[in-house]
Amino acid sequence: MARAARHSSLETRTARARLPVRRTPYFAKIAKGLRLGYYRGAVSGSWVASLYRGAEGYDTKAIGAADDTTDADGATVFDYWQAQVQARNWAERRRLFAAGVVRTGPYKVADAVKDYLAEIAAEKKPAAVQGAKYVFDAWILPDLGSLEVDKLTTERLVRWRNKIATEPKRVRTKRTATEAARRKTPDDDDARRARKATANRILTILKAALNRAFFADRVSSDTAWRKVKPFKRVDEAVVRYLNIAEIRRLVSACPEDFRKLIEAALYTGCRYAELTRLKYEDYNDDSGTLSVRLSKGKNRHVVLTEEGKSAFREWTKVLQPGQRIFLRRDGRIWGTSHQQRPLDEASQRATISPPVNFHILRHTHASYLAMAGVPMAVIARQLGHADTRMTEKHYAHLAPSYVAQTIRENFPVLELGSSRQVIPLHKRSA
């Protein structure tokens, strides 16, 4: 960071008050080719930056009022040191403009989104990029895409966030449908909480794009969106898991090729994408483990029970190295969105309502481990969580609790059952 330049006549309001009033500014050189100017008015003054552009002359930029009569706030009123920072930031942006690093003209939210998607394409998997693009196209660009990023206000972003939280949930219309599927307005606490949680996730994606634009010096400030906070207490863990009877009914209701995937999810707690990528060499029968490759950027080993080992041994016995363990009936691989429709159909046949999604199978695996007293760190390792925070959020309430166990062991038996017996009333004699 550049060292701030000293100037005894401009550093303090007392020193500036001694300067004669004049129409031209008093300048202090703060960097090569960059000067900070002070206009001395009759009552108070203001700051201006001046950047030397060689044969093109000087570029100037009004910074704001000086703190001659009002305390500096760093937004509209600046002291000498704050004005220097503003001047340096402006000069750096001018340099980037000249070098073609930052585009000229108004930089809109749509531009920030376009740049963000182009940059993460080299960092993330295609499915993640496509998922982000869907969110931008569905929720962000229609309302905010045409706005200039530098003109965004906190109030505008809050209104956009609140609109998402109160709008009906988007639904997909089937290709064969003659009418568009109707949206259902959230009308209960769970539905409203879910919409707020969705709004939080969309806000996070928008902030990711805008922050990248800010740190790349494409916009001047991040204040507007930094002040927009997510809804609180809407991501409380609500874990749904299947009981043993539901598990058996669901598995029996699946076609053979899809049943293998369902069984594998229950045995391992793996994600759908992790299972569909598994190959013959990923199963180690000697150690009874699966090697899950490139799961969120890292590998992990999933431990199988004897029942799980037996199933994977059966599924891999006729395979060759390089072959996938799970394929569709026609020999094609399972695609990104091929799992929900057969799960909906199987849930209906198994009389499970609401229908199961693949993540519930992962919850089921982890929930039974937690209820059996398996330490949170072990469950986190099995599921591939970076630490135990997410694991504890979802499953800690299912684990045997020291507090609950102590209370149940030490609270006395009150023997109040007899007090609930009904004593018949005697009929009065006439």
**362 to 277, 365, 422: CA distances (angstroms):** 16, 5, 48
d(CA 414, CA 418): 10
Residue (of 225, 171, 239, 169) closest to 197 by Cα position: 169
User: What are the residues whose beta carbons fall under 8 Å from the beta carbon of 332, sequence distance 6 or more?
Assistant: none
- Cα-based angle 56, 59, 63 (whole degrees, multiple of 5): 175
DSSP letters for 27-77: EEEEETTEEEEEE--SS--EEEEEEE-GGG-EEEEEEEEETTSS---SSSE
Query: What domains appear along the chain, each with residue ranges and CATH number?
Result: 13-99 (3.30.160), 109-226 (1.10.150), 244-401 (1.10.443.10)
Is the bond into 142 cis (omega within 30 degrees of 0)? no
Q: Would you state the torsion angle of the CA atoms of residues 206, 212, 215, 217, taken in this order, to the nearest 10 degrees? A: -90
Tens digits of pLDDT across the chain (430 residues): 567 888 999 999 999 999 999 889 999 998 888 999 999 988 889 999 999 888 878 888 899 999 999 899 888 899 999 999 999 888 877 776 665 554 556 889 999 999 999 988 888 878 788 889 999 999 999 999 999 998 899 999 999 999 999 887 766 655 565 555 455 565 667 778 888 889 999 999 999 999 998 887 788 788 899 999 999 877 665 678 999 999 999 999 999 999 999 999 999 999 998 999 999 999 999 999 999 876 455 678 999 999 999 999 999 999 999 999 999 999 999 988 788 899 999 999 999 988 999 989 999 999 999 888 888 899 999 998 878 888 887 887 777 765 676 777 788 877 776 555 555 556 555 5
- Identify whether the C-beta of residue 356 lies closer than 8 Å to the C-beta of residue 308: no
Q: Which residue bears the tokens 């899950």?
A: 292
**175 to 178, 179, 234, 235: CA distances (angstroms):** 8, 10, 33, 33
